[in-house]
Amino acid sequence: MGEAQKGLLSVIEKLKGSTEQEVRIVLLGLDNAGKTTLLKSLASEDVSTITPTQGFNIKSVASNGMKLNVWDIGGQRKIRPFWKKYLENTDLLIYVIDSADKKRFEETGLELSELIDEENLKGVPVLIFANKQDLATSSPASEVAEGLNLHTYRDREWQIQACSAVSGEGVQDGMNWICNNIVNKKK
């Protein structure tokens, strides 16, 4: 079983005691950041053929009275204005960054900053995946965090996690953070 599958299973296992608890997760980031790859990896699906998301993908996993709903919304410039329509009742924002695409760091930082200011995300925890760490040109998560000024987000819990959605490396650690800091607080 891959790292990503173990991560999703650990979330579900830690939630076994809850009764019909639902966690709504919105998965956002610029186009080509790896959002759909991450989602497919979490759902134990083949990640070898991924096409750009033109609208959105939804994956739900039910186990022992728990339902984890993940909304993966396309990141193309023409779709981003519609992101805010999907934010209501969000329990967690996962924001995925292509840490090897330094040319787009400013753009992704502006988009994240605008999301953080959205009323429907007020106080909502944020997990930032610094994706594509398997590429030689990727920036370390600490450098990405500094560039995004994450230290200025004091009104919510946040975590940046280095990962590779393709290999699953680092995804488990992000899922553990969700379990330990987000899901347990909903109980």
- In the annotated binding site for Mg(2+), the residues are 36, 53
From the annotation, which residues make up the binding site for GTP? Answer: 29-36, 75, 131-134
Please name which of 176, 130, 126 lies closest in space to residue 151, comparing C-alpha atoms: 126
d(CA 76, CA 60): 23
Structure tokens at 114: 């605008």
Please indicate whether residue 172 is annotated as part of the active site. Answer: no
From the annotation, which residues make up the binding site? Answer: 29-36, 53, 75, 131-134
Furthest C-alpha separation in the chain: 45
Which position among 76, 159, 161, 172 bears the catalytic label? Answer: 76
Q: How many alpha carbons fall within 13 Å on the CB side of residue 117?
A: 6
Please name which of 75, 87, 160 lies closest in space to residue 121, comparing C-alpha atoms: 87
Tokens 């009742």, residue located: 89
d(CA 159, CA 123): 14
Element (H, E) at 92: strand 92-98
DSSP character at residue 140: P
Structure tokens at 63: 């186990």
**Residues taking part in catalysis:** 76
